[in-house]
A and B are shown apart, each in its own frame.
Chain A
């Protein structure tokens, strides 16, 4: 474990920035934290979490896939992928770090998505332990330990000191180059104990996902509660867009002045046109679309991924849904006493 004074954070970021582009949460104009590219003057925000998740770094809201030049009857395909650059994302919470595993299992499964894979290869994750988890936090439900965040380097801020603990070779390589002071683990150990105590005291600390899983299709699919749960859903994409694990996308073409650009953008299973095709619409009402989202997180995803759930308990949907409907309410309604 290494350490540096919090007062010297700027110097640390400057040192990192010599070899990596550095992104960290900073309070935006609206007073809420969002991942921002570090440059002199950008201040690290200790806010618990960003409005948008960290998935943008690997799976951005829009990204160009390729260009086409059309001439007469011919088409030329232009590979616009670039080298990419090494980058560090600093201050990622344990929930968001787990979300990368969830996304990996989709994008890095064969056939590998090269755009995502390139970003993953370039990215170094500095996670941050949560000393003040909020009432909307329920990462523990999914076996995530906010006191021991994963990532390439796990960070802890205790009083005036930032502690950094390399978790991977990649993380160790970055830390080694920064020439930081070594440290014992006493302060961090004490903080871990405090965090675990706080996690246990959260209102959602008892929430269990044990009633859900890959083998529960028949148990939940036809449940009548879906109707009341989804009844006032606006069908907007807020939950899917702030969600760190939602990974549905659309591929679209955009006519530029010189040709056609094919790009990928986030899509949402909550949208009516998501599954619409000329031959019909398999999910006719918002009930089916709403059910799809939660069944995917709680049943379908675990069925395909060794029981891992497609939710990390970050709580973003709890605070952002326009009608305050969310996965916790769904789990409690469907799972009853078992949740």
Chain B
């Protein structure tokens, strides 16, 4: 259950439309079922009254949509940002990807978002409805009665290891702000690091072999904002939609992780949208963990304008030799 109800957000949106602060709003739209919420752009209070929702299924991060939408129209866009979304928001501002003046950001607290796949797996197929209760998600199934999934088992992995309940960007805040969390988000990376090279290769081979190159991870990623991706450029020599070899299939994700290294805020959208449930965020987290270890703690998006270690030379930087040595130790 979220701390704020749909009505609180809706009332605020209505007021902002009414006083002319904004002329459109990014928010979540009701789906066919309880869980298939669609991110949408609302152009009126009436549309919002009809379709706007805010509940445990509103995982979508709107930050990247602002890149395109702020180029259209004169008015401001209302956007609701959960704490993790604010990091992406800031990172895009750092990279000058949208005009801050065109946006009215309302920070909203987040109690974690559900992973529908987990709920489906826990409760078998056939979901009539899902309600969020104190004891967890109650899944009303089509064939097996009601099943209660404890909240900790129904939440997305990224929410279970939430890095921050604190908003790092907003024009106004609804509800209480939280704190940066002492997150266990690198535990899984450490587990992979502890594997030997063969085991680790086998792990990634197994995961990445499911990739269908739909590009959803790239297309949703707030750090992937190139106007034309190198993988879409027919003149790049690497344009491809489907892997010719497994080598290429594996390289795509590693290359992408390199491209967003130091800029990835660990929002987790890549893994959320992957139709094959590849834990892509672990690649990015490995980079974040290493950057933290080599160059000192750095959180992309924590503040606008911060210099990412990989693009900010200092004399204290890690020597290449040290990295090579470290790599050899993990081989």
Touch test A–B (CB under 8 Å):
yes
Interface residues of A, Cβ cutoff 8 Å to B: 28-32, 34, 47-48, 51-52, 61-62, 132-136, 198, 201-204, 228, 231-232, 234-238, 240-242, 250, 252, 254, 261, 263, 265-268, 271-273, 318-320, 322-326, 328-329, 332
Q: Which B residues are CB-close (under 8 A) to A29?
A: 206-207
How many B residues have CB within 8 A of the partner chain? Answer: 45
Q: List 28 A-B contacts (CB under 8 A).
A: A29-B206, A30-B207, A30-B276, A32-B277, A48-B125, A62-B244, A135-B33, A135-B127, A201-B142, A202-B142, A204-B32, A234-B220, A234-B273, A235-B219, A236-B215, A236-B273, A238-B214, A242-B212, A242-B275, A252-B240, A263-B244, A265-B241, A265-B242, A268-B214, A272-B232, A318-B36, A323-B60, A329-B38
Q: Which residue of A lies closest to B216 (CB)?
A: A236
How near does chain B come to A58, taking the closest CB pair, in angstroms?
16
- Complex Cα distance, B32 from A267, in Å, reads 28
Q: Which residue of B lies closest to A332 (CB)?
A: B32
Cβ-defined contact, A324 with B244, below 8 A = no
Main secondary structure of the interface of B (DSSP, over half): loop
Beta-carbon nearest neighbor of A237 in chain B: B214
Question: Known interface pairs A48-B125, A203-B32, A236-B219. Does A323 touch B212 (Cβ–Cβ under 8 Å)?
Answer: no
CB neighbours (8 Å) of A31 from chain B are: 121
How many angstroms from the CA of A231 to the CA of B38 in the assembled complex?
A: 10
What residues of B have a CB within 8 angstroms of the CB of A267 in the complex?
Answer: 241
Q: Are A52 and B241 in contact (CB under 8 A)?
A: no
Measured CB to CB, the nearest residue on chain A to B212 is A241
The answer to whether B219 and A234 touch across the interface, beta carbons within 8 angstroms, is: yes
Docked Cα-Cα span, A320 to B116, in Å, equals: 11
CB pair B241 A266 closer than 8 Å: yes
B243 interface residue (CB < 8 Å to A): yes
Residues of B within 8 A of A242 (CB): 212, 214, 275
Contacts of A48 in B (CB 8 A): 125
Q: Binary interface profile of B, 213-231, with partner A (CB < 8 Å = 1, else 0)?
A: 1111011100000000000
B41 touches A232 (CB 8 A): yes
Q: Are B128 and A132 in contact (CB under 8 A)?
A: no
Asked if A322 meets B272 with Cβ closer than 8 Å, knowing A29-B206, A34-B210, A236-B214, the reply is: yes
* Complex alpha-carbon distance, A322 and B276, angstroms: 11
Chain B residues, CB < 8 A from A52: 212
Instruction: Choose among A28, A61, A236, A325 the residue with the greatest number of B CB atoms under 10 Å from its CB.
Output: A236
CB distance from B115 to the nearest CB of A (A): 12
On whether the beta carbons of A134 and B126 are closer than 8 Å, the reply is yes
Report chain B residues within 8 Å CB of A132. 124-126, 142-143
The answer to whether B65 touches A61 (Cβ under 8 A) is no
Q: Establish whether residues A318 and B32, one from each chain, have CB atoms under 8 Å apart when the complex forms.
A: yes
Which residues of B lie under 8 Å from residue A202 when comparing CB positions? 142
B residues near A134, Cβ cutoff 8 Å: 125-127, 142
Q: Mark B304-316, 1 if CB is under 8 A from A, else 0.
A: 0000000000000
B37 beta carbon closer than 8 Å to chain A:
yes
- A293 shortest CB reach to chain B, Å: 13
| A62-B244, A271-B241 known; A329 vs B32 contact (CB < 8 Å) | yes
- Closest approach, in angstroms, between the C-beta of A135 and any C-beta of chain B? 5
Cα distance A34–B206 in the bound complex, in angstroms: 13
CB within 8 Å of A: which of B170-220? 206-207, 210, 212-216, 218-220
Q: Decide yes or no whether B234 CB sits under 8 A from chain A.
A: yes
Measured between beta carbons, the chain B residues less than 8 angstroms from A61 are 212-213, 242
